[in-house]
Amino acid sequence: MTQFQFRNRVNAFFKSVREDIAAVQRNDPAATSKLTVLVNYSGLHAIWMHRVANRLWRTGWGQFPARVLSQIARALTGVEIHPGATIGRRFVIDHGMGVVIGETAIVGDDVMMYHGVTLGGISTKRVKRHPTIGDRVMIGAGAKLLGPIEIGSDSKVGANAVVTKSAPAGAILVGIPARNRAESASDETASAESALTETEPADSATAGATGTADSTSA
């Protein structure tokens, strides 16, 4: 590695750290200062340790130390992220305790995740078996997302929801099993509009009959 390449990597590292701290401050009103975030936010510490473990994992020869590092991170932070998982930029884990992210999980940019969340697998085969999360997704406390499903960008997953099916962008997933409330709301609106359209001819006919009766009376 040349000195120029080394300098670029160092700059990229510190840029990433600044982005992460800013993301926490943007999403958590309790994050009153950069120092508070740097020292006290275990979710952020887990993400930083994962980035090191992931780099080791991708070398091939470093998979064993990567697993060791991920277990150290789990012991220190309460967050277990498999070193093979792909994590995007500005990922925020609030509170952190009890979060589990599996090996083939993919998490997009600007994702907000609360404590107790599981991105888990439902297969014992060495295939893509964990969820793919789009950008700007919010996942509430205790939510379980299972299997190789895809959650579209800008979606929200409610606390304690159990999600086993893919969802489009902008979904609002709640319940056990989770249902898309945004889709349900659209269906209800469409039904209401359809009902209104169907009643308009009847209303016109009634108005016409009333007008004829008035003319006869006159």
Retrieve residue 140's tokens.
């509430």
The per-residue pLDDT for 157 is 97
What is the distance in angstroms between the CA of the first residue and the CA of the last residue of the chain?
100
Retrieve residue 22's tokens.
């800013």
Three-class SS state of 118: strand
Triad 50, 54, 58: Cα angle to 5°: 175
The per-residue pLDDT for 200 is 53
Q: Backbone phi, then psi, for 135, in 5-degree steps?
A: -80, 150
The per-residue pLDDT for 13 is 82
The per-residue pLDDT for 195 is 60
Using CA atoms, how far apart are residues 164 and 106, in angstroms rounded to an integer? Answer: 16
CB atoms within 10 A of CB 27: 14
The per-residue pLDDT for 213 is 46
Whether residue 145 contacts residue 163, with contact meaning beta carbons closer than 8 Å, is answered with yes
- pLDDT averaged over consecutive 10-residue blocks of the chain (218 residues)? 77 88 92 92 94 92 94 96 95 92 96 96 91 97 96 96 96 95 69 60 50 48
The per-residue pLDDT for 10 is 78
Exposed/middle/buried for 203, CB within 10 Å: 0-12, 13-18, 19+? Answer: exposed
